[in-house]
Amino acid sequence: MTIAEKPRLIVGISGASGVAYGLRALDACRELGVESHLVMSRSSALTLAQETDLTVADVQARADVAHKFGDVGASIASGSFPTLGMIVAPCSIRTMSEIASGVTASLLTRAADVTLKERRNLVLMVRETPLHLGHLRTMVKLTEMGAVIAPPLPAFYAKPLTMDEMIDQSVGRVLDLFGLSWRSVKRWGEDIGPVGATPREGA
């Protein structure tokens, strides 16, 4: 199966707070007809238990394919396996730093490294604040390597009424980077915009 027949997207979930971002990315893939390949870090199971009532098996069931964290021989560890790229949602500082070093010790970071070397989109939803200089320099390094650093920040112009709406807006904007338009995104100039704005004549 090729990307043209059914696009594939790798979704990594690290142990940072914000596991809901990864969960919704998987849900979005299913709604969009995108084949999702999931890999979770070991520490993500702890965060999952703290932030939700779900089990690891529940999360894996949301993906089309769930890979083991230590399986560095999995399909997504090879550049010959075509994908649109990879989202790490959420992305911990440890995971970010390992990707930046190029010394990858797990399938999660190996898949991210492959994504970079193949010049595919790698988007890291980094969850940490405040940031010290080492964090910022690592982000600069990753940006220079071709990754996109996309901390999940609420878009208040969309006037979210619930936490779910804030999460979906952040996930949807990240999916935009892969050319995937998800229904949950509220778009400026379409769904929302300046009060009294009207289309230009002839537009």
Other residues' Cβ atoms within 10 Å of the Cβ of residue 120 = 17
What integer pLDDT is reported at residue 192 of this predicted model?
86
What are 64-81's pLDDT values in tens digits? 999 999 999 999 999 999
Cα–Cα distance between 122 and 193 in angstroms, integer? 30
**Tokens encoding 136:** 């910022």
Cα–Cα distance between 57 and 66 in angstroms, integer? 9
| Domain 8-176 = CATH 3.30.70.100 | no
CA 37 to mean position of chain CA atoms: 12
Cα–Cα distance between 172 and 29 in angstroms, integer? 10
Q: Sheet containing 121-126: which strands, arranged edge to edge?
A: 65-67, 35-40, 8-13, 85-91, 121-126, 148-149
What are 138-195's pLDDT values in tens digits? 999 999 999 999 999 999 999 999 999 999 999 999 999 999 999 999 999 888 886 5
1 — pLDDT class (breaks 50, 70, 90): very low
Q: What is the DSSP letter of 134?
A: H
What are 71-110's pLDDT values in tens digits? 999 999 999 999 999 999 999 999 999 999 999 999 999 9
Query: In this prediction, what percent of the chain has a pLDDT beyond 70?
Result: 93
Cα–Cα distance between 123 and 25 in angstroms, integer? 12
Cα angle 31, 23, 159 (rounded to 5 degrees) comes to 80
